[in-house]
Structure 1
Amino acid sequence: MIADFLATHLPILPVLLPAGTAVLLLLLGDAAPRLRLARRAAVASALLGLLLAARLAVEADAGVLRVYRVGEWPAPYGIVLVIDRLAALMLLLTGCIALPVLVYAAGGWDAHGRHFHALFQFQLMGLNGAFVTGDLFNLFVFFEVLLIASYVLMLHGSGRERLRVGLHYVVLNLAASALFLVGVALLYALTGTLNFADLALRVPQVGAPEAALLQAAALLLLVVFGFKAALMPLALWLPATYAAASAPVAALFAIMTKVGVYAIVRVHGVVFGAEAGASAFTVQPLLLPLALLTSATGVLGALAATTLPRLVAWLTVASVGTVLAALGLFNAAAWSAALFYMANSTLVIAGLFLLAELVAAQRGEAAGRLEPAAPVAQPTLLGLMLLLAAASVAGLPPLPGFIGKLMILEASLPHGAVVAVWSVILGAGFLTLIGLARAGSILFWHVRSESSGSAAGASPRLVAATLALLGSGILMSAFAAPLQRYTEAAAAQLLDRAAYARAVLGDERATTTRPYRGEPGAPR
């Protein structure tokens, strides 16, 4: 009976599990005697969440599209959660990051402020909710949940610099949220719905002159999602923010930018995609050039970085640019490549944030600054970890970063901007390797004394958590073929709007279009 209940309500469990855990942790409190229990509960919840995500991914890989109607209200009138291949992939990626990051944080970072584990769980709730919702307004709601948690996590541990950039982070996100609401209101006014499946059916019905307003709403949402994803020129807030955050928080934030990428896929790739009538490919002229600019700016920022955390933050921007460049090609092969590369780069970037703190903890007063200092206590281990990360981020074979970039380059061959795509992606990979090689030589070779560095950060718990993220690339390389098949199927499923509509709306609603607002008989 319990098994049947869990099977029926499985799609909503990735949202309810962290929400319930967060409430439990708040009731438990985080006083010193209870901190150990809170750590165990948080890690157990993250492990269970990862197992749930794995189960959903297996189901999705079999072609099952799970639809969960909250309160049994039919779509598009009620809240609906949808688990397709893309949603399952994002849930699994979130779980793969959350578990090692929580293990790392339990090594001592969680004691630097109050309610770390409860806030972490609330952020997981927002992330998972954003990935499974089938409704644009509820995407906004989950955006706000994860952002509110991120505001406090950003300031966790205090510090003047953290407070300064945290204030900018909060103000800019509040402005983006206001624009999000304006865009949502415009879409609803013109179509009468915010359900993704229903929007995909009704947007093509909107003709001139309303289509101009619809396109304005799409462009406004690109500004919002581009800000969340760190698309240039809206990405300048990210390096300082991520570099100032504590290592576990910055590592979790590596997946937060992918919520913006995910929203761009759902809204601009599918709803305003090839079958959107007069509004088809609204953002296509902008997305690819801005994505290439993002990748180029990110890698140049990494070269100019003076600290290791800031270098990693700029690499986050560069990786987002590469993913969005693939999405901007608007074909199934490129989308598959984008998903493959995104999974690897997110895991490696999260691991690099943790590694940056391990190195900084062993360098004394120099910390993460890229300047000569005392040698670290674990030069061989940490150096090899940085080498592994550099090879994957730069795209050296046989690691998945190379496979993902090769897939993107192949998918760009029929596109008119193939020269620009190849130049930026290959150039960014080369400069990334130079930037990380420069950082590694300063950190591990250019030392000011022969005395051994501090052993702080040498805990097996911290090293194991970091290795779990950085070593994921080796695992992805070993299973590259099935992963590639999964991402290819996910891209094909995204482009099959009719099947998505049948699953969410039902056969009758999916084949019967309702008039949009402004037509005779339309709902007012």
Structure 2
Amino acid sequence: MTHALIFPILLPLFTGALLLLAHRMPLAAKRGLSVLAAALLVPLAAWLVVLASDGELRLYALGNWQPPFGIILLLDRLSAMLLLLTAVLASLSLLYACRGDDERGPNFHALYQFQLLGINGAFLTGDLFNLFVFFEILLISSYALLLHGHGQRRVRSGIHYVVLNLLGSALFLIGVSLLYGVLGTLNMADLALRVAEMDEALAPLVAAAGYLLLVVFALKAAILPLHFWLPRAYAAATAPVAALFAIMTKVGLYAILRVFWLIYGSEAGPLANMVADWLWPLALVTLLAGVLGALASRNLQTTLGYLVIVSVGTLLAGLAFGSEAGLSAALYYLLHTTLVSGGLFLLADLVARQRGNVGG
């Protein structure tokens, strides 16, 4: 099943498009279609985990254009695991949304599917430009999902979230353009080879592009000092949206792992492991900021937002070790912290509903 790699992208893409085209269909039909599509992602992702379990890298060249010229999807054990994690979290959060949260605004289910499209694409792509494209898809969907249900608090938090991520997108595009202008490719594997063999005179430009990408990924992952948008945004979102957002910081960490272990890794010549010395202090201050914020919070949802930052700091600390043991521990922690964080957002919403204190 060589085409199995494209299904986690096509399924939410076509489902979201159908939901938009048939936006006048009854809500029950929208719910059924959206839940079915999300549920189908679970066995599909499980099958991809089985395929990837042999340790081989699997490539899917869209349009049969081979690397480094075509759009490449790449499946390994890490991306397969994250696809399965996303599918499980998304399907359960969507079921919770069907109890009434999806009625607060139009096109909730279409936006939810496009969010899944962006997340799945980011985990599968083997190309930096297409990573940018999938980042934009998931961010645009998240803007609308964050504002879903309206309310002054959501709008205020949403504006901060949108402005910061638009700035991040601009920096991402500049960094990608700089790499392409210097090295002539954006395929990650090809970039790793060209960085290792490049003229040392080009190193400052390639390093500048790498630091720009680090800032962008740190913003997506909510690493200090670029973390301040997350608690308010997650607290303002509806519970199923906040639960799905629990995987979004992991997309930023995944991008750091892919780019700075592959392109700027130990084989990168003068730029070898260039961000390694930054990761450990960033992890510690992010952990500290998350803990202090959680202790100072007066709102349960805000507390959970800061606990997401704590999990980001913990995961970054595992990556900072730069060893197989540290990476294994971080990935093991990533699985359960994402599910627990998503479940806690849903539980907090149940507590708030029973107390009669649900923010609009």
* Structure 1 position 310 matched with structure 2 position 302: yes
Q: Which residue of 2 aligns with 1:278?
A: 270
Q: Which residue of 1 aligns with 2:319?
A: 327
User: Whole-Å Cα distance in 1 between the matches of residues 214 and 322 of structure 2?
Assistant: 15
Q: Once the two structures are superposed, what CA deviation does each residue of 1:257-296 show, in whole Å capped at 9, x if it has no partner?
A: 1110010000012211111111111111111101111011
The aligned counterpart of 1:23 is 17
Q: Distance in 1 between matches of 2:211 and 2:252?
A: 14
Letter in 2 for 1:86: L
Give the count of matched residue pairs. Answer: 359
Answer whether contact 2:290 2:306 (CA < 8 A) is retained: yes
Mark the runs of 5 or more structure 2 residues left unpaired by the alignment: none
Cα RMSD (Å)? 1.1
The percentage of counterpart residues that share the same residue type is 57
5 Å-filtered alignment, 1:504-523, equals none
Mapped pair 1:190 → 2:182:
yes
- Aligned partner of 1:88 in structure 2 is 80
Residue type matched to 2:38 in 1? A
Q: Give 1:188's aligned amino acid.
A: Y
Amino acid at match of 1:304: A
1:463-518: CA deviation from partner (whole Å, max 9, x where unpaired): xxxxxxxxxxxxxxxxxxxxxxxxxxxxxxxxxxxxxxxxxxxxxxxxxxxxxxxx
How many Å separate the matches in 2 of 1:13 and 1:321? 32
For residues 177 and 201 of structure 1, what CA distance do their matches in structure 2 show? 26
Q: Distance in 2 between matches of 1:280 and 1:216?
A: 14
Q: Which 10-residue stretch deviates more, 129-138 or 326-335?
A: 326-335
* Partner Cα separation in structure 2 for residue 226 and residue 197 of structure 1: 22
The answer to whether structure 1 residue 65 and structure 2 residue 57 are counterparts is: yes
2:123 is matched with 131
2:42 aligns with one of 35, 50, 65? 50
Aligned-partner Cα distance in 2 for 1:18–1:57:
19
Q: Is the 8 A contact 2:189 2:262 kept in 1?
A: no
Give the alignment partner of residue 222 of structure 1, picking from 214, 218, 226.
214
Report what 1:115 is aligned to: 107
Query: TM-score with structure 1 length normalisation?
Result: 0.68
Unaligned 5+ runs, structure 1: 1-6, 369-524
Measured after TM superposition, the shift of residue 223 of structure 1 is: 0.3
Which residue pairs with 2:351 in the alignment?
A: 359
What residue is the counterpart of 1:253 in the other structure? 245
Paired residues of 1:30 and 1:38 also in contact (CA < 8 A): no
Q: Distance in 2 between matches of 1:199 and 1:331?
A: 23
Counterparts of 2:302 and 2:183 in 1: how far apart (Å)? 43
Deviation at 1:30, TM superposition (A): 5.0
DSSP 3-state at the match of 1:346: helix
1:76 to 62, 68, 72: 68
Deviation at 1:209, TM superposition (A): 2.3
Which residue of structure 2 lines up, in the alignment, with residue 146 of structure 1? 138
Q: What's 2:5 paired with?
A: 11
Alpha-carbon offset, residue 149 of structure 1: 0.5
Confirm or deny: 8 A CA contact 2:172 2:216 kept in the other structure. Answer: yes
Give the conservation status (yes or no) of the 8 Å contact 1:302–1:315. Answer: yes
Offset at residue 330 of structure 1 (A):
1.1
Equivalent position of 1:158 in the other structure: 150
Within 2, Cα distance between the matches of 1:288 and 1:195? 28
CA distance in 2, matches of 1:262, 1:131: 8
Letter in 2 for 1:89: M
What are the superposed Cα offsets for residues 28-64 of structure 1, whole Å, 9 maximum, x if unpaired? 2156xx1001111111101111111100001111223
**1:344 maps to which residue?**
336
Deviation at 1:207, TM superposition (A): 3.5
Q: Distance in 1 between matches of 2:41 and 2:285?
A: 36
Equivalent residue, structure 1, for 2:203 = 211
Whole-angstrom CA distance in 2 between matches of 1:172 and 1:120:
21
Letter in 2 for 1:17: L
Distance in 2 between the 1:213 and 1:24 partners?
44
Say if 2:280 is the partner of 1:288: yes
Q: In structure 1, give the amino acid aligned to 2:228.
A: L
Q: Distance in 2 between matches of 1:254 and 1:89?
A: 16
Q: Which runs of 4+ in 1 moved over 3 A?
A: none
What amino acid is aligned across from residue 216 of structure 1 in structure 2?
A
Query: Which AA in structure 2 matches 1:168?
Result: H
Name the amino acid aligned to 1:336: S
Mean Cα deviation higher: 136-145 or 209-218 = 209-218
> Could you tell me how far 1:160 is from its partner in structure 2?
0.3
Q: Is the contact between residue 153 and residue 249 of structure 1 (CA under 8 Å) also seen in structure 2?
A: yes
Q: Distance in 1 between matches of 2:215 and 2:265?
A: 17
Equivalent-residue separation in structure 1 for 2:206 and 2:199 (angstroms):
9
8 Å CA contact retained: 1:222, 1:264: yes
Paired residue secondary structure (1:13): helix
- 8 Å Cα contact 2:41/2:87 also seen in 1: yes
Cα distance in 1 for partners of 2:196, 2:55 equals 27
CA distance in 2, matches of 1:348, 1:73: 40
Structure of larger gyration radius: 1
Alignment-mate amino acid for residue 219 of structure 1: Y
